[in-house]
Amino acid sequence: MGLIKFLPWLILIAIALMYIPRMMAQKEKARMKEELESMRRKLNEREQGRPQESAGEMVKCPCCGIFFPKNEGAVKNGRLYCSRDCARRG
């Protein structure tokens, strides 16, 4: 009988057909997870890098309470104010 010869192959093919989609789905899932992770990482980097890149460290004005870049402040009596007006008043 010729069919007996093919039976192991048929079983192998059947198993492969059952497992390959599952493996592909798992691979796809892992790939998507990785992509999401890298996107999140990029977003975090951008968020953390923005203030340091553009404006330096942010400090709070003791007079009016607004946040401003440290290198743009006015110093009076050792304290840092957002503007000369605040430095004069504070």
Q: Which residues bind Zn ion (CB under 5 A)?
A: 61, 63-64, 82, 86
Kindly tell me which of 59 and 86 has the beta carbon lying closer to Zn ion: 86
CB of 56 to Zn ion, least distance (A): 17
CB of 67 to Zn ion, least distance (A): 10
Structure tokens at 87: 């430095």
CB of 81 to Zn ion, least distance (A): 5
CB 60 within 8 A of CB 73: no
Burial of 13 (0-12, 13-18, 19+ CB in 10 A): exposed
